[in-house]
Amino acid sequence: MKGQDISPVSRTKEEARRCYDRISRVYDYFAAPFERKYAQMTLERLSIQEGETVLEIGFGTGHCLERIAQSIGQSGRACGIDISPGMLEVTRRRLSKAGLMDRVTLHCGDAANLPYEDNTFDAAFISFTLELFDTPEIPRVLAEVKRVLKAGGRLGVVSMSRENGQSKLLRLYEWAHCKWPRYIDCRPIYLEQSLKNAGYEIKSKTKVRLLGLPGEIVIGMKA
């Protein structure tokens, strides 16, 4: 059955927090060439409008949150949640420098329990973060996002993907993930199926290649 073959996550949340704290200042140097283009593609498909209220989960160094804050304009509101205080500090500095901190609220915490009211957001965005949650937690995170989205709200997610079967390269990557889960922490998931199972209506899906590895961009809607 889809989902049962995804590698489990052995790292604790505390270990994840410490890991991202340690790399927060250098993260952009090694992750940006690999991930940023696809995060931007997802934001384009999410089509954020002026005045909207938008949530980003696992905002990292804040490069997408900066773009979200520009898209919503002065009348909009953005919130971000990340487990790492180090990442939060890097993002706070980025947004302050860009003069955008007045329209953004940052939270440090675990996205499996979102500190927001029901029906708050027009859109939510997750870039290379959903695949860090252990398999039983992925539906929980998606249910939490659905709870805080307004009816008709959109969710845009980009992640490594297992939807199109396995290549030798993917098998090699998964082997490396199992051997060194603390260093190679993202692993491919069934993204579209996870959104469908969580009750989202799929609006679009795009296959991408991440240095030869399969990835997926899915836009879902809370019906």
**Chain centroid, CA 163 distance in Å:** 18
**Chain centroid, CA 18 distance in Å:** 18
User: Which C-beta is closer to ligand SAM: that of 145 or that of 195?
Assistant: 145
One residue of 43, 81, 106, 138 binding ligand SAM per CB under 6 A? 81
User: Which C-beta is closer to ligand SAM: that of 76 or that of 80?
Assistant: 80
Find the part of the chain contacting ligand SAM (CB under 6 A) among 54-62, 67-75, 94-102, 215-223. Answer: 54-62
Site membership for ligand SAM, residue 60 (CB under 6 A)? yes
Site membership for ligand SAM, residue 190 (CB under 6 A)? no
Phi, psi at 153, each rounded to 5°: -70, 150
Phi, psi at 213, each rounded to 5°: -95, 145
The least CB distance from residue 73 to ligand SAM, in Å, is: 22
Q: Under rule CB under 6 A, which residues in 115-144 are in contact with ligand SAM? A: 127-129, 132
Site membership for ligand SAM, residue 55 (CB under 6 A)? no
State the residue for tokens 């499996």: 112
User: Which C-beta is closer to ligand SAM: that of 112 or that of 221?
Assistant: 112
Site membership for ligand SAM, residue 79 (CB under 6 A)? no
Site membership for ligand SAM, residue 39 (CB under 6 A)? yes
Q: How far is CA 218 from CA 110, 143, 161, 211, in A?
A: 22, 16, 11, 19
- How many residues bind ligand SAM (CB under 6 A)? The answer is 22
Site membership for ligand SAM, residue 184 (CB under 6 A)? no
The least CB distance from residue 1 to ligand SAM, in Å, is: 25
DSSP string, 139-202: HHHHHHHHHHEEEEEEEEEEEEB-TT---HHHHHHHHHHHHSTTTS----B-HHHHHHHTTEEE
* Cβ 91 vs Cβ 56: under 8 Å: no
* Cβ 207 vs Cβ 216: under 8 Å: yes
The least CB distance from residue 189 to ligand SAM, in Å, is: 13
**Chain centroid, CA 144 distance in Å:** 13
Site membership for ligand SAM, residue 82 (CB under 6 A)? yes
Give 207's strand partners.
Answer: 216
The least CB distance from residue 26 to ligand SAM, in Å, is: 13
User: Which C-beta is closer to ligand SAM: that of 101 or that of 108?
Assistant: 108
* Cβ 9 vs Cβ 186: under 8 Å: no
Give the footprint of ligand SAM on this chain (CB under 6 A): 13, 16, 20, 31, 35, 39, 58-60, 81-84, 87, 110-112, 127-129, 132, 186
